[in-house]
Amino acid sequence: METFSSQIQKLIEELAALPGIGAKSAQRLAFYIINMPKENVTKLADTLVTVRNNIQYCKHCYNLTDSEVCPICGNGKRNHRVIMVVENPRDLAAYEKTGKFEGVYHVLHGAISPMLGIGPADIKLKELMVRLQEDVDEVIIATNSSLEGETTAMYISKLIKPTGIKVSRIASGVPVGGDLEYIDEVTLLRALEGRVEL
């Protein structure tokens, strides 16, 4: 016996299909939306459709934007000679929150993963190599510390080194507040190798 009408159940299923939304959260969101004023629901629905229809890749960095060039690439105060390579727009947003990086980005939209059938041609690597034909001083590889991220970083490094452009990798290691006894050996080794002078 079904608990909810078919339309309510359909809404719950659609919300539960979103990443990070479980069945209970989907049900809570569904009832919240149902109880919203109709004009707010219409506004939400219109916003979803508008965003989906208008979002595109920035022609330089492949970040998501609603214009030809994203705000970062369009900012003349940024150092366009330093490019940080990230896996996805969420990683870019995380670095932007620090307020410390003054260069520009290149978004790969994925990482190399032979196990998942994702090769170099499936991410925005060719587009990165085209960008490197301009005046670029350094490429900072900021892919995740996962197996896929490390594979991608090594592949990019091998592609770029022959060009003479400086290639660096973000440091990784012990998180702030982390107890050393609970941290794996690879992370500890990375922390040791990425040490800085005090």
Tens digit of each residue's pLDDT, the chain (198 residues): 567 789 999 999 999 999 999 999 999 999 999 999 999 999 999 999 999 999 999 999 999 999 999 999 999 999 999 999 999 999 999 899 888 899 999 999 999 999 999 999 999 999 999 999 999 999 999 998 888 988 999 999 999 999 999 999 887 776 766 676 777 777 777 777 776 664
* Structure-token pair, residue 111: 């990482």
Segments making up each domain of the chain, as ranges = 6-54, 77-170
Architecture of the domain whose range is 77-170? 3-Layer(aba) Sandwich (3.40)
pTM score of the predicted model: 0.81
CATH level 3 topology of 6-54: Helicase, Ruva Protein; domain 3 (1.10.8)
- Reduced to 3 states (helix: H, G, I; strand: E, B; else coil), residue 148 is helix
> With contact defined as beta carbons under 8 Å apart, do 12 and 18 qualify?
no
What does the block give as tokens for 12? 């719950």
Q: Are 103 and 140 in contact (CB under 8 A)?
A: yes
Is residue 149 within 8 Å of residue 87, measured between CB atoms? Answer: yes
Question: Hey, how many other C-beta atoms are within 10 angstroms of the C-beta on 34?
Answer: 11
Return the pLDDT at 189: 74
DSSP 91-147: HHHHHHHHT---EEEEE-SS--BGGGTB-GGGTTHHHHHHHTTSS--EEEE---SSH
